[in-house]
Amino acid sequence: MEIFDMREFDGHEQVVFGHDPATGLRAIIAIHSTVLGPAAGGCRLWPYATTAEAVADALRLSRGMSYKNAMAGLDFGGGKAVIVGEPRRKTPELFEAFGRLVEGLGGRYVTAEDVGTTTADMANVSRSTHYVSGLGRAPGEAGGDPGPKTALGVYLGIRAAAKFALGRADLEGVTVAVQGVGGVGYHLCAHLADEGAQLQVADVRPAALQRVCDEFGARAVAVEEVLEASVDVLAPCALGAVLNAQSIPRLRAKIVAGAANNQLAQGQDGAALAQAGILYAPDYVINAGGIISVAREYRGGSTEAQVIADIHGIPARLTEIFERARRESRTTNAVADGMARERLAGTRARLVA
Ligand code: NAD
């Protein structure tokens, strides 16, 4: 595998492979940048078919974390871990072994939850390293499961997008299709339903789907059809790369704004969305609520109220991106990438000077 030549390689500072025969741990930690601070980003547990696929995901996700943390104004760089494995077979010992791998990096990388990992898993990681966040917390303290915080940011971001593209002051009667109603999607549906939005939802897990239908009066749609739903807003909250050359011509939403990381299969898909007249909320800007919480928890001494106040900064950042994109005839993802790179370059220049 020629890592330096991979399409996903973007000048990453460090890529670490970890193996523990006793627990079966096979993990990759990618540190994209520590220019702004320790590289922070979650740990994904996924049954990757090949090592190359796992490395590509770690590289892509860690770069996304550099941009996400830069845009959220956090003093953290970008990193991500992936564990190759079957979520149903995870053990406390596996996460303890992963914690030892994180500890070995001496604080250059700080881990937390991602797809396939939970607060309980991070508690096991914390048995062997301090460089972990997203742990349990006392009421009123910053931290805990980042999923609900991500959902709050996405909800506020959808409001900002609806105001910008539809001239809507609130979401009463606005139709939203949510793809994936797991840790983030469920809480997003709660916020949207509270404000009177009409929900269409899809998930591969029937029980998760039933729950949001029962609790929020959402209408279930087939997994194969949710991307094409005739709605105002499409909120991808499951997997990455759902916006691609095949799906974009079939979209009927006016806005795409959701939690999933790496929604665009390729950068040029942002242009296809713009040409189709669809407003795209860059994923790493709208879904920063979780890392904002993780960051405050890790530094210590913050309250939940401070986390929530920070998350309320997300809609203004999105509106600035939407306005710049319109003014400069550029895509929203290109504007966001440019702003993130400016902050990284500015800090790098100050460090060198
Ligand atoms: P999750 O695993 O709890 O939920 C994902 C849901 O999507 C599950 O219910 C799953 O069954 C469903 N799903 C999987 N494939 C699907 C498909 N093809 N169609 C419809 N549903 C499908 O994960 P999560 O924590 O809710 O995260 C969701 C997305 O948001 C991920 O892409 C994640 O990387 C991203 N994200 C999460 C956070 C966070 O704080 N948890 C932060 C930033 C970004």
pLDDT along the chain (353 residues), means of 10: 92 98 98 97 97 96 96 96 95 98 98 94 98 92 95 98 98 98 97 98 97 98 98 96 96 98 93 97 98 96 97 98 98 97 85 73
Token digits of residue 27 = 């993990």
User: Atom 25 in ligand 1: which residue has the minimum CA distance?
Assistant: 183
pLDDT value of position 347: 82
pLDDT value of residue 146: 95
Query: How high is the pLDDT of residue 233?
Result: 98
Indicate if ligand 1 lies below 6 Å from the C-beta of 148. no
The H or E element that residue 236 is part of is strand 233-236
**Annotated catalytic sites, by residue?**
80
Contacts of 320 (CB under 8 A, 6+ apart): none
Q: What is the CA radius of gyration of the chain?
A: 19
Ligand 1 pocket residue status of 261, Cβ below 6 Å: yes
How many angstroms separate the alpha carbon of residue 259 from the centre of ligand 1? 8
pTM of the model: 0.96
Check residue 267 and give its pLDDT.
85
Which residues is 82 bridged to in the sheet?
A: 28, 44
pLDDT tens per residue, range 16-74: 999 999 999 999 999 999 999 999 999 999 999 999 999 999 999 999 999 999 999 99
Which ligand 1 atom is at minimum distance from the Cα of 181?
A: 9
Pocket test of ligand 1: the residue of 115, 119, 285 to mutate, having most ligand atoms within 8 Å of its CB, is: 115
* Closest atom of ligand 1 to CA, residue 68: 43
Give the contacts of 74 (CB within 8 A, at least 6 positions apart). Answer: 36, 37, 40, 291, 292, 295
Helices (H), the chain: 51-71, 92-103, 119-125, 147-166, 185-194, 206-216, 268-275, 283-286, 289-299, 304-311, 314-328, 332-352
Q: What is the pLDDT of residue 239?
A: 86
Q: What is the dihedral of CA 48, 102, 241, 333, to 10 degrees?
A: -170
Can you read off the two tokens belonging to residue 167? 């001239």
User: How far is it, in rounded angstroms, from Cα 175 to Cα 194?
Assistant: 13
DSSP per position, 103-172: HTTTTSEEB-B-TT--HHHHHHHTTT-S-B------TTBS-S-SHHHHHHHHHHHHHHHHHHHH--SS-T
133 lines ligand 1 (CB under 6 A): no
Closest by Cα among 278, 203, 267 to 239: 203
Question: In angstroms, how far is CA 153 from the centroid of its own chain?
Answer: 11
Check pocket membership of 208 for ligand 1, CB cut-off 6 A. yes
Domains and their CATH numbers in the chain? 3-61+78-125 (3.40.50.10860), 147-287+316-340 (3.40.50.720)
Q: Which atom of ligand 1 is nearest to the CA of 113?
A: 41
